[in-house]
Amino acid sequence: EIVLTQAPGTLSLSPGERATLSCRASQSVTSGHLAWYQHKPGLAPRLLIYGASSRATGLPDRFSGSGSGTDFTLTISRLEPEDFAVYYCQQYVNSLSSFGGGTKVEIK
Q: Is the separation of the CB atoms in 34 and 55 below 8 Å?
A: no
Q: Does 95 bind other proteins (CB under 8 A)?
A: yes
Q: Does 94 bind other proteins (CB under 8 A)?
A: yes
3-state secondary structure of 32: helix
Out of 13, 20, 45, 77, point to the residue binding other proteins (CB under 8 A). Answer: 45
Q: Does 55 bind other proteins (CB under 8 A)?
A: no
Question: Of 7-15, 20-28, 68-76, 96-104, which part binds other proteins (CB under 8 A)?
Answer: 96-104
Residues in the chain: 108
Question: Of 9-17, 61-69, 74-82, 92-100, which part binds other proteins (CB under 8 A)?
Answer: 92-100
Out of 53, 55, 56, 64, point to the residue binding other proteins (CB under 8 A). Answer: 56
Q: How many CB atoms lie within 10 A of CB 6?
A: 22
Residues 78, 68: Cα–Cα separation, whole Å: 23
Site string for other proteins, 25-44 (x = CB under 8 A): --------x-x-x----xxx
CB of 55 to other proteins, least distance (A): 12
Q: Is the separation of the CB atoms in 51 and 33 below 8 Å?
A: yes
Residues 74, 44: Cα–Cα separation, whole Å: 19
